[in-house]
Structure 1
Amino acid sequence: MKISCVGAGPAGLYFAIVMKRRNPNHEIVVHERNPAGTTHGWGVVFWEDLLATLRTNDPDSAQAIADQAVPWSGQVVDVEGQPPLHHGGGGYGLCRRRLLQILIERALALGVDVRFESEISELRQVADADLIVAADGVASPLRRHRADQFRPQIEAGRNKYLWLATTQRFPSFTFGFVPTSAGWVWFHAYSFKEGMSTFIVECAPETWKGLGLGTMRADAELRLLESIFAKHLDGHELISRDGQGHTLPWSSFRRLVNRRWRADNLVLIGDAAHTTHFTIGSGTRLAIDDAIALASALSEHDSLPRALDAFDRRRQRALARVQRDARLSAEWFENLPRYIRYNTPAFFTLLLARRSRLLKRIPARTYLYLRGQYTKLTGRAAAPLGRIGGPAHPFGSRAKCGIAGAEPGTPRH
Structure 2
Amino acid sequence: MTDRATRLRAEGADIISLSVGEPDFATPQHVVAAAKAALDAGQTRYTPVGGTARAKEAAALHFARDLDITVPTERVTVSAGGKQAIFHALLATLDPGDEVLIPAPWWVSYPQIVRFAGATVVALPTSAEYGYRIDPAALAAAITPRTRWLLLNSPGNPTGAVYPAELLRAIGEVLAAHPQVLVLSDDIYAPLRYTPCEHATLAVECPALGDRVLTISGVSKSHAMTGFRIGVAAGPEWLIAAMEKLQSHSSGNPCSISQAAAVAAFEGPQDFLADWRDRFRVRRDRVVAGINAIPGLATPVPDGAFYCLVDATPHIARFGDDTGLALHLLDHGVAVVPASAFGGADGFRISFAADDAQIDEAVRRVAAALKDTP
Answer yes or no: same fold by TM over 0.5.
no
TM-score bin (small chain): under 0.3
- Which structure shows the higher helix fraction? 2
State TM-score, norm by structure 1: 0.26
State TM-score, norm by structure 2: 0.28
Q: For the pair shown, which has the larger CA radius of gyration, 1 or 2?
A: 1
